[in-house]
Structure 1
């Protein structure tokens, strides 16, 4: 029987089924094909991870007592595990009584650990009346809110943004008890046969027998137990032979409810960080301090002077990102050193801002081809995409289409982590270009990546009359000449290649779009050739970790950027683990992956010693494990053949230099070990880590530390950043962090070196953008309203703790609209519970500030029982103002430009806003 027929075979069976598969891959295929037809299906595979094991055990518990048909898919691994059938569950239900104290005791007793923000299974957090729990069962953590001792609300929430997304009325939480009875698989079968007819199938018994021997090699102590158990189960089973066949791996279109980015913030200011205040210069952040019932940021300057900045002044403070990596000098508060320095540098920045505006103006005048709107074919083609687009991916696609349909020449960067859907953005842009009869050039830095793109494009375009060719060093001279000739005649629509396509012999009949993948990998000469193409052809650049110069261009508006930060549905985070450079730890990391039928990348970036490293690994590992190596000095043909063998599963471990950094996409390779960290940049390590965890299985990245080598400051910072960076969507953030560690880089030579050194990257960019806006005439001076209400308005430590307070403060200060304010109020209630009076006062203060800014009110001050409103003379016509405001209780004084009223502040502001809008309409 063919593998593709097994799924239907299992669906057609009337009895319940236990199916023992010869590989986890087969189980995944059967499960994906059966799950929509049979709801009572459990797969016992890939159980090396303890969390996954308990989750599966819970699913088994739910199904075991059903009288309906159930299907259990298991591998040998699942066969050798023990299962609990008498575990207790804790039922949480709306309206029931359960004290928070008792719930916490139950959780702790059953192995749950307390953390401020829940990030993984077996964690819980307490924030006021809210307890967040990530149980072993279920896909997402839950949020339980109490009213006294009554459960008032239960929701699922996302790890990515910590926000609730689904209300539920009850849930059973699986308790991880150590004293529960454990059954082996034979006992489990006997239990299943008590109340149902059961068919047991054993797939490819010879393969499973071989896997058993491999397992016994690793666990000699349990050899007798394993052999006896397997022999008994084999007697009860019907043998079935299964052959591989095409059509097994059809992709299923799935929903995308897990949109979001890991809830971390690399630019977050932490205690002890160097910061820069726009008015006072560089200091050291000491944390938040309460002064007269109001939170202030404490900053230490030279001579132990301290500056206390009220929270509303947060927008004047940035983390100090130094371009040279050296320790910055603290400024003196009582002197004018920073002020003088800033005034001098602002003259240079003004000149530079004018240059930027000129570049932008020239770019705006540079008109190109205006592509047509989407055709019926385009819509049909996009419908065939086998996945649901993520939110960010949709936005990037729309950005590119909008650029192409405009008369301005496109120069857009699409930045997104490996596997986040950048290629699909390029595929759609290419299709749009071809629909208008325009040719497309796609350039990749390596033959491997070019080949991968070619295969993907061919697969997506197979139903359409689009001609594609691949051009690289692998083509013979004759083939290259033939392809060049076809490009010139216009008979090739899409040409994909490496540096070879930038040779002077390529002449296009009607080139409309150039797509560059990982531009930073190209040399200076190639970049110059690409730059010349930008003058009249739309340019799209794809990158996972943009270099500082590219980031600078994007952040300053010289180039456009779309960032894809949303993880695709089903993507499991890659876990980063630091290990020591010793045989035991390296062997253990590799064997864990081999045991789950996976493959391993081992990064060793020294060509001369790579064969020695191969022999070292062979001595450490069992003989049945296949190892081979590749490096950049090998012929492209040889590299391609070895990669193909690795992809086909003939090689278990691929020892490689950093040549695999781009373009290698092997779903079964989910462990990578990286040696020689001190020689690699942060972005490079991140790119390499992206080679694993590209499918549904969890990926592991082991960073090997040389215990005999002392780490320098930059290396230590890089390692800390790798620990802090989120598992999802971190490439763009990591590029910013790489800039901090390795240097910010320059845009136009050394012209702004002094400004970067003085202001740091963040403040420098902010000030430069302000200058650009002023020159262009679209800068709006920040209008500040002074508000004195004598009310306590802050975030209490008892409500929000630690670094999270500053994150929330920063978000509150950055709020620009009433809608944003409303959304964050909903989020605060959801995540931290009932909002205390001080926080409500803070939200009211922000609401008043937003309205007052809009109405150009300079000051609002509470005097006794009355409120004084002072209006800005430069914006407000008081004669007109008094015609609008006809309040008996309001008094107006020309002397202080003030209006006195005893009305509620918000009531008055909303009323005045409405009257002003009415008056404008008249």
Structure 2
């Protein structure tokens, strides 16, 4: 039986099915080939070495054992040799009922739950006011309970990514920790299943399964009898199937994507103890938030123990001080004009540079490029065949590129997205669009390996259309290259994929319309100069996960356009980064952990001369059944290709490699990478290598091999701390900003700007430079906030939102421009932290007034003892309408200083005024 036939065979069975597979990969293939099944529950008991996955499976088995529902259960060898607990300790939460919150917390503490401020992992809980968040071992999502006294007033699932509620519930079952009770083997689980179900049991490739059991016995000698008993049970109680690999490709299912929103943390977020820079006072040390007279103030320490208290609404005047970390910044004196003088002098230089930027932008706008036609019906059909559901960011990037192409300007756009986030599909659609208008396309990659990977991907996507794609690289023979070059000139090739070979002088095309560059930072100086010349004539699309500082800065300053893809695909799990010692036991342990879950391993060793010695070294510490080979950039290209193919097919367990695999290698079954010699690699380089794993929906592991910590430099130590902090998805863009801090930013925009960068730090520098650009263009508007004085306490109480999360919320609140967005964040805050306390409700009133005042051209609002004064900007306001409204309301008022005095609430008055305007 072929693998693709197994899914149909199982689905057509009337009875429940227990299917023991010979590999995890087979299980994934069966699940992908199954049609929607409504009458049976499907459980996958594989890849359960992770504690989270094991708990989920254990509780699913517990549920199906008790009922008589039909099920399909897939089991791998890992699932067979694991033991399960069928203890039924659980809590049922219901609206208006349930245990007292104190009793629930006692149970959680007794069962090993860890208390955190925000819940992100299983077996964690959090208390915030009336909110109790719990991430139990069962279920897909954590649970949020809101209490009113001793009763549960609200139950929801919530996202542990952005902490927002995603689904309301009336009742939910939560299992406690069940690992204290009696365990049962899988044969015992089968016998329990048979009591309530008429079930078919199938075992595929029993000889292969037997071999895998013998290998498991070699690793765990003490379980030999136990493993052999499982095999005897299966031989006696199951029907045997012989399953072969399917011919042809297995169709990929169309995936949807996660509900996760934005995780509001980034490297610009200031934390206590950080150096900051205030745009008026210079560099200081941030010490936290203090409440003074009912308002929150940021406390900043300056030289000579001077302290500055900055009102929280001025948070936008403060930036994290990002500059060369080799030098500890010097704190400024508050009482002197040192910083102000320095700033005035540097602003003159920045003005000159701003004029250069505006000139570049103007020249760019003057370039007239080819204007592409709107999408054809073929384009729509082609895009519909994409086997995944696009994320909203990916769709936005695609639309940005199409809009550029359909305009008359020359496109120069960067698409920045983390590894595996769908940048290549953006390029593929742009290529298709260009070819539909008869244009030719060049796709340039930094390595032969990446060019080959792109070639295969493009060929696969274009296979149903009359499109000719060729590749030019070291793998292409001289004769073949000559033939391709001739056809390119004649227009017989639509798209050419290759390395820097495509920048050679003999490359000539009939009608070049689009150039796509993958990871531009990997090209040398000469290549970049040639790319710069191309940029003047044809549309350019650059793909990158970690843009270099100069590229990033050009994008932020509007010299080039940028689209960010920040949303992760559904099921994508953050890669876990760990440091391990450079000893054979540590290395063997992490490799065997991946091998036993039937995964594959990358081992990065970036020394060509010693790579064969490393191969021998690894073979000595690993079992003989593990297959391992190596590749490096100086090898024959054909050998590289063949070994990569062998790894992709699964013929190799471990691929030992230099950094040649940094870009483009996409192998879902390779989910562990070990990187040796990280002190010799750049931060973004380590990040790119790390992105070779975790490409599917299995957890990826990146192990950074550390030498003696005492010998590492301060810069390496700091970089290691950064890598530890980027375990979330989508960190490439932020990492580029952080990389500037570590490496220094002196050469970012040339020597002329070095002094400004050193003085202001990167964040404030770009803000001030952008202001200078706007001044040169005549677009700069002083966005002066209205003066609002209310006789109320308005702040976020420390006991309501704790620590750095409080500053995150403040930053988000102060960035809000519309009442709709303010209302959304108000709902989110109530959802996450519980009933909103009076001081924070007052802050929402204050911010609502601020938004309304800016909209209605009000420059001052003052409330005191039920008396309100509102001053208008008479250049933009119709005072006659104001007076008419006052007369209609029969309110007591007096007109003075372009404003009004009246009794009552400013907010209510402005609402009435807005209604009158409508």
TM-score by length of 1: 0.97
Q: Contact 1:553/1:747 (CA < 8 Å) preserved in 2?
A: no
Structure 1 residues 252 and 473: CA distance shift in structure 2, 3 A = same
Structure 1 residues 251 and 732: CA distance shift in structure 2, 3 A = same
Equivalent residue number for residue 30 of structure 1:
30
In structure 1, C-alpha distance between the alignment counterparts of 2:242 and 2:741, rounded to whole Å: 58
Q: Contact 1:4/1:247 (CA < 8 Å) preserved in 2?
A: no
Q: Contact 2:412/2:535 (CA < 8 Å) preserved in 1?
A: yes
Q: Contact 1:162/1:263 (CA < 8 Å) preserved in 2?
A: no
Q: CA RMSD in A?
A: 1.7
In structure 1, C-alpha distance between the alignment counterparts of 2:249 and 2:151, rounded to whole Å: 50
Q: What is the CA-CA distance between 1:879 and the residue it aligns to?
A: 6.6
* Residue 465 (structure 2) pairs with residue 498 (structure 1): no
Equivalent residue number for residue 827 of structure 2:
826
Q: Secondary structure at the residue paired with 1:495?
A: strand
5 Å-filtered alignment, 1:645-684, equals 645-684=646-685
In structure 1, C-alpha distance between the alignment counterparts of 2:892 and 2:540, rounded to whole Å: 60
Equivalent residue number for residue 404 of structure 1:
405
Q: Contact 1:321/1:761 (CA < 8 Å) preserved in 2?
A: yes
Q: Contact 1:122/1:136 (CA < 8 Å) preserved in 2?
A: yes
Q: Contact 1:51/1:136 (CA < 8 Å) preserved in 2?
A: yes
Equivalent residue number for residue 891 of structure 2:
889
In structure 2, C-alpha distance between the alignment counterparts of 1:907 and 1:550, rounded to whole Å: 49
Q: Contact 1:323/1:761 (CA < 8 Å) preserved in 2?
A: no
What does the per-residue CA deviation read over 1:235-273, in whole Å, with 9 as the maximum and x for residues that have no partner?
A: 222221111113563111133243435453222101111
Q: Contact 2:203/2:238 (CA < 8 Å) preserved in 1?
A: yes
Equivalent residue number for residue 215 of structure 2:
214
5 Å-filtered alignment, 1:102-501, equals 102-247=103-248, 249-323=250-324, 325-501=326-502
Q: Secondary structure at the residue paired with 1:470?
A: strand
Q: Between 158-167 and 905-914, report the one with greater CA deviation.
A: 905-914
5 Å-filtered alignment, 1:695-710, equals 695-707=696-708, 709-710=710-711
Equivalent residue number for residue 848 of structure 1:
849
* Residue 10 (structure 2) pairs with residue 10 (structure 1): yes
Q: Contact 1:514/1:540 (CA < 8 Å) preserved in 2?
A: yes
What does the per-residue CA deviation read over 1:631-684, in whole Å, with 9 as the maximum and x for residues that have no partner?
A: 122222221121111112121111111111101111111000111121112111
Q: What is the CA-CA distance between 1:24 and the residue it aligns to?
A: 0.7
Q: What is the CA-CA distance between 1:880 and the residue it aligns to?
A: 7.2
Moved over 6 A (4+): none
* Residue 628 (structure 2) pairs with residue 627 (structure 1): yes
Q: What is the CA-CA distance between 1:149 and the residue it aligns to?
A: 1.3
Q: Contact 2:258/2:571 (CA < 8 Å) preserved in 1?
A: no
Q: Contact 1:261/1:567 (CA < 8 Å) preserved in 2?
A: no
Q: Contact 1:159/1:262 (CA < 8 Å) preserved in 2?
A: no
Q: Between 820-829 and 770-779, report the one with greater CA deviation.
A: 770-779
Q: What is the CA-CA distance between 1:746 and the residue it aligns to?
A: 4.0
In structure 2, C-alpha distance between the alignment counterparts of 1:570 and 1:889, rounded to whole Å: 60
* Residue 31 (structure 2) pairs with residue 39 (structure 1): no
Q: What is the CA-CA distance between 1:283 and the residue it aligns to?
A: 0.2
Q: Secondary structure at the residue paired with 1:194?
A: helix
Equivalent residue number for residue 780 of structure 1:
781
Q: What is the CA-CA distance between 1:875 and the residue it aligns to?
A: 4.9
In structure 1, C-alpha distance between the alignment counterparts of 2:417 and 2:839, rounded to whole Å: 40
Q: Between 57-66 and 402-411, report the one with greater CA deviation.
A: 57-66
Q: What is the CA-CA distance between 1:67 and the residue it aligns to?
A: 2.2
Q: Contact 1:264/1:725 (CA < 8 Å) preserved in 2?
A: no
* Residue 566 (structure 2) pairs with residue 528 (structure 1): no
Q: What is the CA-CA distance between 1:779 and the residue it aligns to?
A: 2.0
In structure 1, C-alpha distance between the alignment counterparts of 2:139 and 2:653, rounded to whole Å: 33
Any gaps of 5 or more consecutive residues in structure 1? none
Q: Contact 2:582/2:706 (CA < 8 Å) preserved in 1?
A: yes
Equivalent residue number for residue 866 of structure 1:
867
Q: Contact 1:266/1:724 (CA < 8 Å) preserved in 2?
A: no
5 Å-filtered alignment, 1:578-593, equals 578-593=579-594
Q: Between 878-887 and 407-416, report the one with greater CA deviation.
A: 878-887
What does the per-residue CA deviation read over 1:741-775, in whole Å, with 9 as the maximum and x for residues that have no partner?
A: 11235454211111111110000000111111122
Q: What is the CA-CA distance between 1:467 and the residue it aligns to?
A: 0.9
Q: Contact 1:264/1:726 (CA < 8 Å) preserved in 2?
A: no
What does the per-residue CA deviation read over 1:461-493, in whole Å, with 9 as the maximum and x for residues that have no partner?
A: 111111111111221221111101111001111
Equivalent residue number for residue 604 of structure 2:
603
In structure 2, C-alpha distance between the alignment counterparts of 1:265 and 1:324, rounded to whole Å: 18
What does the per-residue CA deviation read over 1:413-463, in whole Å, with 9 as the maximum and x for residues that have no partner?
A: 000011100000001111111111111111001111111111111111111
In structure 1, C-alpha distance between the alignment counterparts of 2:554 and 2:40, rounded to whole Å: 52
5 Å-filtered alignment, 1:706-745, equals 706-707=707-708, 709-744=710-745
Q: Secondary structure at the residue paired with 2:88?
A: coil
Q: Between 830-839 and 264-273, report the one with greater CA deviation.
A: 264-273
In structure 1, C-alpha distance between the alignment counterparts of 2:852 and 2:158, rounded to whole Å: 32
Q: Secondary structure at the residue paired with 1:160?
A: coil
Structure 1 residues 745 and 881: CA distance shift in structure 2, 3 A = farther
Equivalent residue number for residue 807 of structure 1:
808
What does the per-residue CA deviation read over 1:789-844, in whole Å, with 9 as the maximum and x for residues that have no partner?
A: 12111111111001100101111111111111111101101111110101000010
Q: Secondary structure at the residue paired with 1:816?
A: coil
Q: What is the CA-CA distance between 1:135 and the residue it aligns to?
A: 1.5
Structure 1 residues 314 and 601: CA distance shift in structure 2, 3 A = same
Count of aligned positions: 916
Structure 1 residues 885 and 488: CA distance shift in structure 2, 3 A = farther
Q: Contact 1:544/1:732 (CA < 8 Å) preserved in 2?
A: yes
Q: Secondary structure at the residue paired with 2:289?
A: strand
Q: What is the CA-CA distance between 1:32 and the residue it aligns to?
A: 3.0
In structure 1, C-alpha distance between the alignment counterparts of 2:486 and 2:32, rounded to whole Å: 46
Equivalent residue number for residue 20 of structure 1:
20
What does the per-residue CA deviation read over 1:555-584, in whole Å, with 9 as the maximum and x for residues that have no partner?
A: 000000001010011212211111122221
Q: Between 654-663 and 850-859, report the one with greater CA deviation.
A: 850-859
5 Å-filtered alignment, 1:896-915, equals 896-915=897-916
Q: What is the CA-CA distance between 1:146 and the residue it aligns to?
A: 1.2
Q: What is the CA-CA distance between 1:914 and the residue it aligns to?
A: 4.0
In structure 2, C-alpha distance between the alignment counterparts of 1:608 and 1:890, rounded to whole Å: 90
Q: Contact 2:33/2:251 (CA < 8 Å) preserved in 1?
A: no
Q: Between 866-875 and 169-178, report the one with greater CA deviation.
A: 866-875
In structure 2, C-alpha distance between the alignment counterparts of 1:427 and 1:446, rounded to whole Å: 19
Q: Secondary structure at the residue paired with 1:528?
A: helix
In structure 2, C-alpha distance between the alignment counterparts of 1:905 and 1:486, rounded to whole Å: 74
In structure 1, C-alpha distance between the alignment counterparts of 2:141 and 2:580, rounded to whole Å: 30
Structure 1 residues 227 and 823: CA distance shift in structure 2, 3 A = same
Q: Between 704-713 and 117-126, report the one with greater CA deviation.
A: 704-713
Q: Between 643-652 and 351-360, report the one with greater CA deviation.
A: 643-652
In structure 2, C-alpha distance between the alignment counterparts of 1:884 and 1:797, rounded to whole Å: 41
Q: What is the CA-CA distance between 1:207 and the residue it aligns to?
A: 0.8
